[in-house]
Chain A
Amino acid sequence: MTITTTMTTTMTTSVTPTMTTSMTLFHIRYRDTQGTLMRLLNAVSRRAIQMPYLETSPESGLQRLTLSLDVTPKQTGQLMREWSATIDVVEVLASAANAEQVEQPKPPQEVWAVASHAAAIAMGQA
């Protein structure tokens, strides 16, 4: 399974105005059991943190979720602890997002075109 969304925020967006945020890349390896991905994403959405980029794909019998989030150090700690405590999560890693990952539009345009065509078929417009 691969899910991608386009980046919509800038690197200076601050969720907590008094704390400095930075774009951080998270890698989570987890067993692809019912609801695990949603629990991982819920840890982000419950804090009203936008998810400008995420991707999930199979990896060595597990699933790998990569998230790029604009977060404060405190939020990073909270997220990593919450994800680590989530059942079926095997590994949680964080690193500073590099420029390519931050700036590259996701998904590629051709994927959007396919998705739009499929949606149009579903709606009887193609």
Chain B
Amino acid sequence: MPRGAELVLRCLRQEGVDLVFGYPGGAIMPLYDALEGSGIRHVLSRHEQGAVFAAEGYARVSGKVGVAFATSGPGATNLVTGIADAKMDGVPLVCITGQVRSTLIGTDAFQETDVFGVTLALTKWSRLVTKLEDIPAVIAEGFYWARSGRPGPVVIDIPVDLMKAAASGLAPAIFLAPQKPQQQKPHASQDWTQRVVALLQSAQKPVALVGAGVKLAHASDKVRALLDDLKIPSFATVHGLGAIDPAAPHYLGMVGMHGTRAANLALHETDLLLVLGARLDDRVTGEPSTFAPYARIVHFEIDPSQLDRVRPCEVPVVGNLAETIPALHLAMASAPRPDWSEWLATAAHEDRGAEQPTGLTAPATQFLDDLFAMLPPDSIVVTDVGQHQMWAAQRFRGSNPRGFLTSGGLGAMGFGLPAAIGAQLAAPGSTVLCVSGDGGIQMNIQELATIHRAGAPIKILIVDNQYLGMVRQWQGLFYERNYAETDLSDNPDFVGIAKAYGIDGRTLGLDCMNPENTEATAQTLREFVRSPKAELLVFHCPREANVWPMVPAGAALNQMMLRDKEPEALEV
């Protein structure tokens, strides 16, 4: 007699799920009991947050919906950070949580938490299932919303008694989305292409800002074709990295708080900003009131709730970028256009180029340059959150649209290691490099056990400065070097920890960057990258290295601090 749990798994299979991440517990035991023979592989994390970040990593690389299982109460609440992360970054995610049995709901039963209520503000859609026969429709609808429009997280909370109940006669369902009245869809007007063409034709300094939406829409090729044709300066948000070929002559690098000088200046000076699938959060805009002060804005976006959040846009183009970008490209093909070559030459001039990092910053960035240069072209870099994240983003030169994963919106430390697991399982043939810090790695270091058991050959780099480096940087710059509670000089032996989990590791001191050690360091990095199994590498970088350039909070993008020992922000 099939039970509700088996019905859940059949519904997941119908949605194309063959891999889930999770952690068992009392209220979800029937689901685990039914796993064997379901056709679904389960990867056991060592903490539910590891499971949800791994599911996110899997989704970000595969483009499929990531799935995480957790039990009721603490199991479910441990998912919350990952759910919030998926909401911020538009990641398709379905979390299935066990709930106490139906008759106990609302009684503060053992391991009962109102997961539906707790996650309401963080989810795109959620349901507490109350009837067994609702399971197929709920799962079908949940997957639909997770992957439709701007993707996002879904929580489906299922009481344990429903998973244990006999479910004969029930089968997976298909969800047909209800249509909203046409007038409620803020589509761009019919003549939007003409309006955008006219704006481009009158623009002297147009630029394009590329964000995560380009990747989510699988529109990288189309955007590359448009920008290669227009030959206007282009740059990417941290989530847009890889969407544009970094070797393209019009590409100026990453924009924003730690973006390149060239990109930030071009964004400040532009008179026409094409926003392609970006939310324009404060890390990209700098002080919103000073953002792109001379620009008219054309915003290509699938989610209308993302429009006009910083400044009203001249033309909102609401729709799938895979459709709207080719439409614009087609319209521009036959339209006369100004010669923007002089503007491009100015924006990309070497005088505006990224300064080579100097001083304490140089070893970390040079080390990443050397390491990244050894990665195969289809490699995937997954970062944690902090200084290493920004260094990695600045130095990343990959052209794989799904080759750079990071917690960009939420900025959740602990993301890197588990997300790398999901990335590796989504792309088993690719080299996956997890770049973490000595702070972030300790937030989910237990997932080394998951890596070992899964046999995932992830390369784990810890950029170790024995500080919570980004916080320390801000303390140094804005809090008179009062390094309150950011010292991590008593870090554990990371290599020893890795070995305890069955993963080999080694450490490189700062002297590995000395000229006499160049060849030995290169050999170590080659062995690290080419190892057929998981490896850990700890690199000790200068303790007080900072990330440059930097736009201080509340400053405009053209008010960058470029290097150490500047008493005030330098307006350029």
Smallest CB–CB gap between A39 and chain B, Å? 7
Q: Can you identify 6 A-B contacts, CB atoms within 8 angstroms?
A: A34-B116, A81-B186, A84-B304, A84-B305, A85-B305, A90-B180
The answer to whether A103 has its CB under 8 Å from any CB of chain B is no
Q: Quick check: which of B121-129, B264-272, B467-475, B550-558 contacts chain A, the rest being far away?
A: B121-129
Q: Which residues of B contact A34 (CB under 8 A)?
A: 116, 126-128
The answer to whether A108 has its CB under 8 Å from any CB of chain B is no
Smallest CB–CB gap between B100 and chain A, Å? 18
* 9 shortest interchain CB distances as A-B pairs: A85-B305, A81-B305, A82-B305, A42-B121, A87-B125, A81-B304, A35-B120, A38-B120, A77-B308
Smallest CB–CB gap between B466 and chain A, Å? 37
The answer to whether A101 has its CB under 8 Å from any CB of chain B is no
A 35-90 contacts with B by CB, 8 A = 35, 38-39, 42, 46, 77-78, 81-82, 84-85, 87-90
Q: Which residues of B contact A84 (CB under 8 A)?
A: 184, 186, 304-305
Q: How many residues of B contact A (CB 8 A)?
A: 22
Other-chain contact of A91, B117, B120, B184, B304 (Cβ < 8 Å): B184
Q: Which residues of B contact A87 (CB under 8 A)?
A: 124-125, 145
Task: Tell me, in angstroms, the Cα distance from A31 to B179 when the chains sit together.
Answer: 12
CB-CB under 8 A for A90 and B120, given A78-B309, A81-B308, A84-B304:
no
Q: Which residues of A contact B145 (CB under 8 A)?
A: 87
Contact at A85–B303, with CB atoms within 8 Å?
Answer: yes
Name the CB-closest residue of B to A85.
B305
The answer to whether B276 has its CB under 8 Å from any CB of chain A is no
Q: Which residues of B contact A78 (CB under 8 A)?
A: 305, 308-309
Given A34-B126, A42-B121, A84-B304, 16 new contacts (CB under 8 A): A34-B128, A35-B126, A38-B117, A38-B120, A39-B121, A46-B121, A78-B309, A81-B304, A81-B307, A84-B184, A85-B304, A87-B145, A88-B178, A90-B180, A90-B181, A91-B181
The answer to whether A97 has its CB under 8 Å from any CB of chain B is no
The answer to whether A92 has its CB under 8 Å from any CB of chain B is yes
Task: Tell me, in angstroms, the Cα distance from A1 to B121 when the chains sit together.
Answer: 22
A 5-23 contacts with B by CB, 8 A = none
Smallest CB–CB gap between A94 and chain B, Å? 13
Residues on A lying within 8 angstroms of B by beta carbon are 31, 34-35, 38-39, 42, 46, 77-78, 81-82, 84-85, 87-92
Task: Tell me, in angstroms, the Cα distance from A82 to B178 when the chains sit together.
Answer: 18
Number of A-B residue pairs, CB cutoff 8 Å, is 46
Smallest CB–CB gap between A51 and chain B, Å? 16
Q: Which residues of A contact B124 (CB under 8 A)?
A: 87
Task: Tell me, in angstroms, the Cα distance from A2 to B307 when the chains sit together.
Answer: 33
Task: Tell me, in angstroms, the Cα distance from A87 to B305 when the chains sit together.
Answer: 12
Task: Tell me, in angstroms, the Cα distance from A42 to B119 when the chains sit together.
Answer: 12
Q: Which residues of B contact A38 (CB under 8 A)?
A: 117, 120
Q: Which residues of A contact B308 (CB under 8 A)?
A: 77-78, 81
Name the CB-closest residue of A to B127.
A34
Task: Tell me, in angstroms, the Cα distance from A46 to B307 when the chains sit together.
Answer: 18
Q: Which residues of B contact A77 (CB under 8 A)?
A: 308
Task: Tell me, in angstroms, the Cα distance from A120 to B545 when the chains sit together.
Answer: 64
Contact at B120–A39, with CB atoms within 8 Å?
Answer: yes
Q: Mark B300-330, 1 if CB is under 8 A from A, else 0.
A: 0001111111000000000000000000000
Task: Tell me, in angstroms, the Cα distance from A82 to B186 when the chains sit together.
Answer: 12
Q: Which residues of A contact B181 (CB under 8 A)?
A: 90-91
Task: Tell me, in angstroms, the Cα distance from A39 to B387 when the chains sit together.
Answer: 35
Q: Which residues of A contact B309 (CB under 8 A)?
A: 78
Task: Tell me, in angstroms, the Cα distance from A81 to B302 when the chains sit together.
Answer: 12
Smallest CB–CB gap between B118 and chain A, Å? 12
Among A42, A87, A91, which residue has the most Cβ atoms of chain B within 10 A?
A87
Task: Tell me, in angstroms, the Cα distance from A35 to B114 when the chains sit together.
Answer: 12
B 119-147 contacts with A by CB, 8 A = 120-121, 124-128, 145
Q: Which residues of B contact A35 (CB under 8 A)?
A: 116, 120, 126-127
Name the CB-closest residue of A to B125.
A87
Name the CB-closest residue of B to A42.
B121
Task: Tell me, in angstroms, the Cα distance from A35 to B127 when the chains sit together.
Answer: 8
CB-CB under 8 A for A42 and B305, given A90-B184, A92-B184:
no
Name the CB-closest residue of A to B309.
A78
Q: Which residues of B contact A85 (CB under 8 A)?
A: 303-305
Task: Tell me, in angstroms, the Cα distance from A44 to B124 when the chains sit together.
Answer: 16
Smallest CB–CB gap between B310 and chain A, Å? 10
Name the CB-closest residue of A to B124.
A87
B 121-179 contacts with A by CB, 8 A = 121, 124-128, 145, 178
Q: Which residues of B contact A90 (CB under 8 A)?
A: 180-181, 184
Contact at A31–B305, with CB atoms within 8 Å?
Answer: no
Task: Tell me, in angstroms, the Cα distance from A35 to B157 when the chains sit together.
Answer: 13
Smallest CB–CB gap between A57 and chain B, Å? 20
Name the CB-closest residue of A to B154.
A87
Task: Tell me, in angstroms, the Cα distance from A5 to B107 when the chains sit together.
Answer: 28
Task: Tell me, in angstroms, the Cα distance from A91 to B182 when the chains sit together.
Answer: 10
Q: Mark B84-117, 1 if CB is under 8 A from A, else 0.
A: 0000000000000000000000000000000011
Contact at B178–A31, with CB atoms within 8 Å?
Answer: yes
Task: Tell me, in angstroms, the Cα distance from A58 to B306 when the chains sit together.
Answer: 30
Name the CB-closest residue of B to A79.
B305
Smallest CB–CB gap between A29 and chain B, Å? 9
Q: Which residues of A contact B116 (CB under 8 A)?
A: 34-35
Q: Which residues of A contact B117 (CB under 8 A)?
A: 38
Task: Tell me, in angstroms, the Cα distance from A37 to B124 when the chains sit together.
Answer: 14
Name the CB-closest residue of A to B117.
A38
Smallest CB–CB gap between A87 and chain B, Å? 5
Task: Tell me, in angstroms, the Cα distance from A91 to B178 when the chains sit together.
Answer: 13
Task: Tell me, in angstroms, the Cα distance from A88 to B178 when the chains sit together.
Answer: 8
Task: Tell me, in angstroms, the Cα distance from A2 to B126 when the chains sit together.
Answer: 23
Q: Which residues of B contact A88 (CB under 8 A)?
A: 178
Task: Tell me, in angstroms, the Cα distance from A94 to B306 when the chains sit together.
Answer: 19
Among A35, A85, A89, A92, which residue has the most Cβ atoms of chain B within 10 A?
A35
